[in-house]
Amino acid sequence: MNTLDILNAVKNGEIAPEEAISHMNKATFEDLGFAKPDYHRSVRQGAGEVIYGAGKTSEQIVAIAKKLMGAGQKTVIITRLSPEAAAEVRHGVEIDYYSEARLAIAGKIPEPDGAGYIVVATGGTSDIPVAEEAALTAEALGSRVVRLYDVGVAGIHRLLANSDELINARVVVAVAGMEGALASVVGGLVSCPVIAVPTSVGYGASFGGVAALLTMLNSCASGVSVVNIDNGFGAGYLANMINHITGE
């Protein structure tokens, strides 16, 4: 039984509260040997466990996904999944695969229930794979996402042309490589939190995203936070959390 089943059983008088506590303590996770699926992640954190696909076999991914869904998790996100691995995973569990983001979703994407919407903006087209990882993560967790791609500072008029979408957003995810200036510019335009995502896009002196990372960490704009290089998932997850803060 999942947590909801247990609580309903107590409500209906089918099991005693003491027995329910015992069930819930046993149901927090399961030891599969190679993994321990966390069935209470959504209870503690508001969202279910996410599977990091890189380094796992397709059999391991399928087993974990099936256990999570069997325990009542309606949507399972699988990140960093190669096209080859996705093809193998499909033999064991039904997924929607997004090759650009290297991300798969098992189950249904919920209807948006956030307080507003999230803007995911990129400096250039080459940053889109990381941006899509952020956008799809946020959507799979229940947020509406507006995508603004290729609006970098090399042609800043493209960003300013979308000022209404930016100003009215609950949170902006700014994804950029090269020198990473997009986050600072966006931070100077909006009153909402800005999550900066440095990407590994750029020429030699970008050092695989380190230059963009340092620029974003040193942003003079207030309200800018920074996640790791190419960490679209982390940015999308955090943006969704902010979008679900209602102040009630």
177 in a structural domain: yes
State the pLDDT at residue 26.
Answer: 61
Which of 94, 84, 28 lies closest to 53 in space, CA to CA?
84
How many angstroms separate the first and last alpha carbons of the chain? 31
Give the chain's length: 248
Q: Which two tokens stand for residue 80?
A: 């960093």
The rounded Cα 218 to chain-centroid distance in angstroms is 24
DSSP characters for 94-152?
--EEETTTTEEEEEPPPPP-SSSEEEEEESSGGGHHHHHHHHHHHHHTT-EEEEE-S--
112 in a structural domain: no
Pair 146, 32 in one domain = no
CA distance 205 to 243: 35
The 3-state DSSP class for residue 29 equals strand
Q: Which two tokens stand for residue 67?
A: 């256990």
67: containing domain: 3-17+27-107
Pair 83, 12 in one domain = yes
Residues 6+ apart with CB under 8 A from 70: none
State the pLDDT at residue 38.
Answer: 87
Which of 200, 171, 202, 199 lies closest to 186 in space, CA to CA?
171
- Across the 248 residues of the chain, what is the mean pLDDT of every consecutive 10-residue run? 73 86 71 87 85 96 94 93 96 96 94 94 97 98 96 93 94 96 95 97 94 96 96 97 84
Pair 235, 126 in one domain = yes
CA distance 56 to 81: 9
Contact 145, 138 (CB under 8 A): yes
CATH code of residue 127: 3.40.50.1970
Pair 122, 227 in one domain = yes
CA distance 178 to 126: 10
Pair 84, 122 in one domain = no
Pair 33, 98 in one domain = yes
CA distance 23 to 44: 17
Q: Total domain count for the chain?
A: 2
CA distance 65 to 102: 17
22 in a structural domain: no
Pair 82, 9 in one domain = yes
148 in a structural domain: yes
State the pLDDT at residue 25.
Answer: 64
